[in-house]
Amino acid sequence: MSARERWFALALRAYPRAYRAVRGAEMMTTLVESTETASWWSVGADGLDLIVRGMRVRMALGPDRFAGRVLMLAALPGFVMAAAYAVVQLAFGEVASSLPTHFGPFHTVGAAVYFVWILGALVKPRYQQSLAAICILASALSVPVGDAFFARPLLRVLVVLVGLGLPSLLAPPADLWFSRSRTVAACAGIITLSLLIPLAASGESTRFPVPFSPLEMLRLDQYLTYVAAAGAAAACALVVVRRTDLLGAGALVFAPWFVAGALTPYYGGPRWSNNGFDALVVCIVTVWLAVSWFLDLRTPPPPGKAMESGHLG
């Protein structure tokens, strides 16, 4: 076995055993034949691509699995919200009230990075995941860079941005699912909301209310019961029409806000107080998502029913 074949065999181990049993030998043949005259760079890239794809199959994140569909639906709204939130942070966030303490590269570079992300993903969907990886890496790096030169960004801001970006990173590549007109309309709505909500809140303070709650920012907290009831009704309707993937995507997009809120007391912020009910709803949906994903993990990975005609491996 050549070094190239050893490298491919190692990369193929990223796929689950059941998948390799059906596809392993065939994929190895294709890999070897397609890289006979390829450069070492291309061979390396092929192996890395296999590892990413294999991990996705292993984690049941393919487009034909429940978790994959949920991630695909959550990806675009998620990173649009992340981009809008980064801009809002830059314009109305901590900088205005506490420049020396929290000012850091994130607040200046972050917005630009996330805008590149969203523009790149809309114009070149095939680079969506690479761009998502860059944004998440930039967010994470802003902590040590901030420590060294400025000040680290707030934990809750990082949690929200990374949390909103993860679906875009983990989702199966955009293919067959991208309905551009609907997506653009949804994005425009989310961006508008994301920009207007903090503006509505900024009348009282230049800082975001802590913990972040879209309801709180809209000053809808006095109507929380009705809003939560409407949310619960919408959730039930989605279950009835069997669009549980949409429900899951909604939970994924809102989850980072609530995680950030739940973390607040542990790093010295005000207590998480008046958004308990909507947080409970999101927690229930998130637990259900996790259980669905776990059950999906236990079912054999699907090379496709039509593929199961024989085992070459």
Closest among 114, 242, 92, 241 to 168, alpha carbons compared: 114
> Please, what is the minimum distance in Å from the beta carbon of residue 73 to other proteins?
9
Among 17, 99, 144, 178, binds other proteins (CB under 8 A): 178
Nearer to other proteins, 100 or 310 (CB): 310
- Peptide bond between residue 211 and the one before it cis (omega within 30 degrees of 0): yes
Among 1, 33, 148, 266, binds other proteins (CB under 8 A): 33
d(CA 277, CA 228): 7
Chain centre to alpha carbon of residue 115: 16
Tokens, residue 9: 């065999």
d(CA 311, CA 313): 6
Residues 106-135 interacting with other proteins (rule: CB under 8 A): 125
Nearer to other proteins, 127 or 178 (CB): 178
CB 27 within 8 A of CB 64: no
CB 207 within 8 A of CB 94: yes
Dihedral (CA of 299, 303, 309, 313) sign = negative
CB 9 within 8 A of CB 2: no
Dihedral (CA of 212, 213, 214, 216) sign = negative
Matching residue, tokens 């761009």: 131
Contacts of 28 (CB under 8 A, 6+ apart): 5, 8, 9, 12
By CB under 8 A, residue 16 contacts other proteins:
no
CB 11 within 8 A of CB 301: no
Among 2, 37, 39, 309, binds other proteins (CB under 8 A): 309
Output Rg (C-alpha) for the chain, integer angstroms: 22
Among 173, 209, 265, 269, binds other proteins (CB under 8 A): 173
Closest among 69, 63, 154, 167 to 107, alpha carbons compared: 154
Nearer to other proteins, 1 or 240 (CB): 1
By CB under 8 A, residue 268 contacts other proteins:
no
What is the contact mask toward other proteins in residues 59 to 98, using x (rule: CB under 8 A)? ---xxx----------------------------------
By CB under 8 A, residue 241 contacts other proteins:
no
By CB under 8 A, residue 177 contacts other proteins:
yes
Nearer to other proteins, 48 or 141 (CB): 48
> Please, what is the minimum distance in Å from the beta carbon of residue 212 to other proteins?
31
By CB under 8 A, residue 34 contacts other proteins:
yes
What's at 183, amino acid-wise?
A: T
> Please, what is the minimum distance in Å from the beta carbon of residue 96 to other proteins?
42
Among 179, 203, 225, 240, binds other proteins (CB under 8 A): 179
Q: Looking at 92-100, 148-156, 279-287, 299-307, which segment touches other proteins (CB under 8 A)? A: 299-307
Q: Looking at 21-29, 225-233, 271-279, 284-292, which segment touches other proteins (CB under 8 A)? A: 21-29
- How many residues form the binding site for other proteins (CB under 8 A)? 42
Q: Is 95 exposed, middle or buried (0-12, 13-18, 19+ CB in 10 A)?
A: middle
Q: Looking at 55-63, 151-159, 193-201, 291-299, which segment touches other proteins (CB under 8 A)? A: 55-63
Residues of this chain that interact with other proteins (CB under 8 A) are: 23, 25-34, 45-46, 49-50, 52-54, 56, 62-64, 125, 172-180, 302-307, 309-310, 312-313
